[in-house]
Chains A and B, each alone.
Chain A
Amino acid sequence: MAHLEAEFNRLLQLAQAEGSQMGTVRDRIVQTIYREAQDIAEKAVKLKGKAEDVDRMIDNVVTSKIWGYPLMLALLSVVFWLTISGANFPSALLAEFLFGLQDQLTALFQWAGAPDWLHGVLVLGMYRALAWVVSVMLPPMAIFFPLFTFLEDLGYLPRVAFNLDKLFKKAGAHGKQILTMCMGFGCNAAGVIACRIIESPRERLIAILTNNFVPCNGRFPTMIAMAAIFMGLLVSNYNSFTASALVAGVVVLGVSVTLAVSWILSKTLLKGIPSTFTLELPPYRIPKIGSLLIRSVFDRTLFVMMRAVVVAAPAGMVAWILANIQIGGLSILAHLAGWLQGFGCAIGLDGFIVLAFLLGLPANEIVVPILIMSYLAEGAMVELDSIEALRELLVNNGWTWLTALNMMLFSLLHFPCATTLLTIRKETQSLKWTVLAALIPTGIAIAVCFVVAQIVRGLGLF
């Protein structure tokens, strides 16, 4: 039935011949439709008096040249501050409860006469990784997601896109990219999918390749913990506001790197001029708190949590096994870390940290638990129920504020997690771009950490 195809092609030629005679058919079609819409609206819509346009008044401030940026930064800091200071107490409580349960589990295993290795794999490996992931991740997420959903439902996010549009345009990227980045705060894989809202393939690729520079929810708790540890190591007295300002600073750095990489990409691999687009600023609507809480807690918090738990359980087991099987007097983990030590040291980290990032490829949430496990297997046991205890453990393993800082930077900039990479593969349908999506961030992470480490050491601060 090839004649159908042939028939269609003939028709197409005919249509093209007709169309080309008329010039801009598309413009005329659009014009007609718009005129018709205007006409109908005029007939059916009546304005009774003029209502005060409150939205316009708010927008004049929120999107103004003077107040737009400071307001964004302030809101960002407040969200982080509420998250960090609000999460401290429930985090400690959860940790106390969960690690208390660990002792009970240990007692149970001893009572049942279970072999040491079983207790190690299940309790010290799997359970402890789970306890860490839950106690450290759940409280900040349970605060961050509702706050974020609130801003989203309020209608603030499109204003952010409006404010940043110019910057992105200058970087050769699309203004809507900021919306995909907002999505990335929750999960980079979701952010990559959200890039579908960008029409032009070129700008969409840029958005996909740079989405990773927004710290997702899996890395967010790491950042918060590292910010607290960094501040604690740098000054004896710090408050949670400086720590949240630091996290906000890291996010701003992530956005700057996004812009820089977008600019470089649009000058090299993905040459082109940014396309224009219409962004509707929807009316502000007071969110419905009930459905907001349900959605942010169930759809986002628990969803991300469950995913983390599913990955953390086997990862905890594997890490424990690697940390406890000895070859020639050293654990496998220590062997691997030993090989990476020189490289880790050069970029201001250590072998264990680099290894934790590598083993954390399935999900960023498990990087810190793996790290703790590898340190714990090496040294003495500590109760890890507070950020102070964690700091002590890290300092005992040779950490300085430079390590904490570079850990934050590396976490912000390094390769995306496996889920995100698979999503990129799916969205771009190209292995080449997927590989680049891993190589570009990793290269930047290594370079930045290396430079920072060399500068700090060069200045003789260590």
Chain B
Amino acid sequence: MGLTAKSTGIYAFLEDLNQSSVKADAIIALAGNPNTGKSTVFNGLTGLNQHTGNWPGKTVVLAKGNYLYRHKNITLVDLPGTYSLLANSADEQVARDFICFGDPDATVVVADATCLERNLNLVLQVMEITPKTILCLNLIDEAKRKKIEIDIAALENILGIPVIPTAARDKTGLKELREAIHQTVFGKRCNHPKPMVYSENIEVAIEKIQAEVENLFQGRINSRWVALRLLDGDTTIIQEMRNYLQRMEPKDQPVSETYKEVECCGSFGSRV
């Protein structure tokens, strides 16, 4: 039952994105745990009126919006609120598939500053897929009220990605967030996300298959992450990979522009 690959339709959705009347200069994915004010950030950036509320996993349907910053037309895709990208709810699959196979130019993860530790799980998982990750530390005002102090510089340093504190309800920090997105997509800035290091036998196994994965997908998606998922034996993603391969087949074109950029930036594990 339920959502087949076609009906959740990352590809249908992507086609829809491309057919929009205004051509987007960049597509940005917006991920985050439920109840982090993700929809408020979305509304704050795009000005699109959309329902927001602390309803776990409420944003089931993908919403998108546009904004103009420095003459660039940015399309923002509001992904379902999820706690991780590992479990198998329809929501988490949609979020994961979009970040992994939808090839967004950057992914913003909205986190609740009042419970950073729990939110970091998703941040780390997104960072594993793409180096072009930006952490939006929302509800920073609430954290302050709860006497929680977060060392932004230290966090940025450890994670190796931009960290922007915001209070989206009061539109605080949204300008900085726009700038960070701009820099990540169009600027020279390269992220060096902290690599996750697993236990030795997993690392050995990854090494065994990573090179072959790289060849198979012609480097289009992050081979280390794919190798890890294959080891995990996650059936839903294996199906999605098959779909991806099938779509890759007819166009045997050289590696895309986007990929080259990623390559320049994508120094997974180079900064251990």
Contact = CB atoms under 8 A, between A and B. Distances in A.
B147 interface: yes
Given A47-B148, A280-B34, A197 B116 contact: no
Interface string B236-268: 001001100110110010000000000000000
Q: Which secondary structure dominates where chain A touches chain B?
A: helix
Contact of A283 (B60, B142, B216): B142
Interface string A159-176: 001000000000000001
Nearest to A53: B146
A57 interface: no
B150 interface: yes
B1 A429 contact: yes
A193 B61 contact: yes
Contacts of A49: 147
Interface string A1-39: 100110110011011101101100110111011101110
Interface in B150-168: 150-151, 154-155, 158-159
Q: How large is the interface on B (under 10, 10 to 19, 20 to 34, 35 or more residues)?
A: 35 or more
A280 B249 contact: no
A61 interface: no
Contacts of B151: 43-46
Interface string A260-282: 00000000000000000011101
A380 interface: no
B90 A18 contact: no
Interface stretch (A98-106, A199-207, A362-370): A199-207
A392 interface: no
| Residue from B2, B91, B159 having most chain A Cβ neighbours under 10 A | B2
Contact of A14 (B1, B125, B208): B208
B56 A197 contact: yes
B196 interface: yes
Nearest to B125: A33
Contacts of B60: 193-194, 196-197
B12 interface: no
B73 to A, nearest CB: 26
A299 B1 contact: no
Nearest to B123: A37
Given A149-B53, A299-B51, A430 B149 contact: no
Contact of B91 (A11, A197, A428, A429): A197
Contact of A280 (B56, B116, B125, B169): B56
A112 interface: no
Interface string B69-90: 0000000000000010011111
Contact of A153 (B54, B89, B216, B234): B54
Interface in B63-110: 83, 86-91
A37 B121 contact: yes
Contacts of A278: 83
Contacts of A14: 208-209, 212
A204 B57 CA distance: 14
A48 B149 contact: yes
Interface string A187-222: 000000110111101001100000000000000000
Interface in B176-217: 196-199, 201-202, 205, 208-209, 212-213, 216
Contact of A29 (B58, B86, B89, B241): B86
B227 interface: yes
B120 A11 contact: no
A253 interface: no
| Residue from A36, A204, A294 having most chain B Cβ neighbours under 10 A | A36
A440 B150 CA distance: 54
Nearest to B119: A37
B155 A44 contact: yes
Nearest to A20: B233
Contact of B154 (A25, A43, A280): A43
A40 B202 contact: no
Given A179-B56, A278-B83, A38 B117 contact: yes
Nearest to B215: A7
A255 to B, nearest CB: 19
Nearest to A19: B231
6 contacts: A11-B209, A43-B158, A45-B117, A50-B147, A197-B91, A285-B54
Given A37-B117, A43-B151, A197-B56, 17 more contacts: A8-B245, A11-B213, A32-B196, A36-B124, A41-B116, A45-B148, A49-B147, A51-B146, A197-B89, A280-B56, A280-B83, A282-B34, A283-B114, A283-B142, A294-B49, A429-B1, A429-B7
Interface of B: 1-4, 7, 33-35, 49, 51, 53-58, 60-61, 83, 86-91, 114, 116-118, 120-121, 123-125, 142, 145-151, 154-155, 158-159, 169, 196-199, 201-202, 205, 208-209, 212-213, 216, 227-228, 230-234, 238, 241-242, 245-246, 248-249, 252
Interface of A: 1, 4-5, 7-8, 11-12, 14-16, 18-19, 21-22, 25-26, 28-30, 32-34, 36-38, 40-41, 43-51, 149, 152-153, 155, 157-158, 161, 176, 179, 193-194, 196-199, 201, 204-205, 278-280, 282-283, 285, 288, 294-295, 299, 427-430, 433
